[in-house]
Chain A
Amino acid sequence: MPAAIPTPGPATVRPPGDQTPVVEFPVVEFKDVTISFDVKPVLENISFSVDRGQTLIILGPAGCGKSVLLKLANGLLGPDSGSIRIFGQEITTMPERDLYALRAHIGMVFQESALFDSLSVEDNVAYRLHEEHVPEDQAHHRVVEALQFVELEQAIAKLPPELSGGMRRRVSIARAIISNPDLILYDSPTGGLDPITSTTIIELVMKQRDVSHSTSLLVTHRLQDAFALATHRYDAAKGMVAIPKDGPDHGIDPGMKFLMLNDGGIAFHGSTEELVHSKDPWIENYLS
């Protein structure tokens, strides 16, 4: 049974006449987080926060700790020092048993998909539902829905080794979103894929963002993916991805933020506009 979590942010639904102050807190909040492997610090004094409905794109050179940061956000790794709050709850001191309950509200897409090789696509996607003892017919219905979302319902009976890299990544997305999580962590969802498949995956990420308005952290090394997410929207009415022609900031998604990591620290944290107009030589070099 998933643990009850406080609804974050100003979107909290309040009964009429309720005068108690609205508790506002970010969905993800890192404060002075440091983690080392052996003696070398991978991340040092990292602080940032992500509000409800925001998408944070995490960029940086290989080995700078992007995936480590996502694992810290999900409690899969513990920091050496600092504070990590998810949905307002401190997870660095939380017992593992409580973390399992909290993770019911977090979906994660792994770098190499991390599908269970011995389970079919249906059992992989329904894994969380089976753990929650959802009745089989309901679970099957939700699996079909999730696979339709990633346009892969025909692969429901296949085993992961029978799927291509792109298909595995799509199954991984279906597995992450089946329980309608409040926070989704994407670890290089397009890593190792060809450009066409990468575009398909990014469109799915966009679709998930614009349909469910969930908060997400996305690690990528492909700038074109990051900027596509900032400039494109999924039009649910037309069922396709398009560039918005009007709106503030030239149609750039205001809920999109960028976090650039370098040498264990934060090289940049801000909006799309701030990133492209940054005069920092390292950032200019990275973007060029």
Chain B
Amino acid sequence: MPLQSPEVYIKKNIAAVQEYSILAGTAIADIFTPPHYWADVFTQMDSIGVGSMPIIVLTGFFTGCVLALQSATALTEFGAISMTGSLVSLSMVKELGPVLTGLMVSGRNAAGMASEIGSMKVTEQLDAMRALGTDPVRKLVTPRIMATIFMLFFLTIIADALGIAGGALMSVSLLGLNANTYLHDSYRGLVHGDIVQGLTKPLFSGFIISTVGCYFGMKTTGGTQGVGRATTQAVVVSSVAIIIVDLLVTRAMIGIFGS
């Protein structure tokens, strides 16, 4: 790989941020003006939402299971094993549910968007679309943003619920806790601010996944190798961005709700 001067490297990255911002801004503005491609929105909802269900169900459930087992070890030392339900539900709803769902959907769908749009770019299908009078941002990017934000919200709820259920299974079957106690403790441990915090994060993650995936797809160059590179970059950048934005949202929510 050839070395670049710092000046070229910085300019290139600033230009990339600018291009990304313009793409994201244009795509969001297109939500509020016709024409709308509702059929594409529903197709993407099916692909992103329903298609991601199996990985979200498995990830959420087993994360809850592991969380219960790991936390029980530490809580036993303090004689607080009955708090397992509260710890699992808080961890799942506030942090693990939104972040793991975001990362799993990022791995599946940011990659899918980058490769699909990237393939269209290198085979001139995006140019053909423009030549046929269709705005590719409006047709391809806006529906993906709408579908990802909407579906990630519900996928996160499913992951949270299954994580708590997984924790319940482990607590009852292996730790000998009472199911009613576990569920009551889980419910009692959550307050309004926790739910708001947990359900705000997927809105940001959904935006990041869709815009980053589409951005790398639309700037793909260099044939099939370029498509592979765009796919990898989309997953890496969106995953890192989800974790960074998670920190910022958490801090903001602590500032608003105080916990």
Q: How far is the CA of A106 from the CA of B132 in the complex (A)?
A: 8
Q: How far is the CA of A30 from the CA of B195 in the complex (A)?
A: 61
B132:A76 contact, CB within 8 angstroms: no
B133:A104 contact, CB within 8 angstroms: yes
B123, B133, B134, B135: the one contacting A114 at CB < 8 Å is: B123
Separation in Å of the A135 CB from the closest CB of chain B?
17
Q: Which of A53-61, A81-89, A95-103, A238-246 contacts B (4 or more CB under 8 A)?
A: A95-103
A111:B135 contact, CB within 8 angstroms: no
Q: How many A-B residue pairs have CB under 8 A?
A: 50
Q: How far is the CA of A116 from the CA of B129 in the complex (A)?
A: 9
Q: How far is the CA of A55 from the CA of B166 in the complex (A)?
A: 71
A108 within 8 A of B: yes
Most buried by A among B119, B120, B130: B130
Given the complex, which residues of B lie within 8 Å of A100, measured CB to CB?
A: 130, 133-135
Interface size on B, residues (CB 8 A): 14
Q: How far is the CA of A131 from the CA of B36 in the complex (A)?
A: 11
Given the complex, which residues of B lie within 8 Å of A108, measured CB to CB?
A: 128, 131
Separation in Å of the B189 CB from the closest CB of chain A?
47
Given the complex, which residues of A lie within 8 Å of B128, measured CB to CB?
A: 108, 110, 114-116
Q: List 5 A-B contacts (CB under 8 A).
A: A110-B131, A114-B124, A116-B125, A116-B128, A128-B133
Separation in Å of the B245 CB from the closest CB of chain A?
30
Given the complex, which residues of B lie within 8 Å of A127, measured CB to CB?
A: 132, 134
A103:B127 contact, CB within 8 angstroms: no
A117 within 8 A of B: yes
Separation in Å of the B113 CB from the closest CB of chain A?
14
A151 within 8 A of B: no
A131:B130 contact, CB within 8 angstroms: no
13 other contacts beyond A110-B131, A116-B128, with CB at 8 A cut-off? A96-B135, A100-B130, A103-B132, A108-B128, A110-B124, A111-B124, A114-B124, A116-B125, A117-B123, A127-B132, A127-B134, A131-B132, A131-B134
Given the complex, which residues of B lie within 8 Å of A76, measured CB to CB?
A: 127, 130-131
A2, A101, A106, A117: the one contacting B125 at CB < 8 Å is: A117
B133:A112 contact, CB within 8 angstroms: no
Considering only CB atoms, which chain A residue lies closest to B122 in the complex? A112
Considering only CB atoms, which chain A residue lies closest to B26 in the complex? A96
Q: How far is the CA of A103 from the CA of B133 in the complex (A)?
A: 6
A97, A106, A112: the one contacting B131 at CB < 8 Å is: A106
A221 within 8 A of B: no
Separation in Å of the B221 CB from the closest CB of chain A?
11
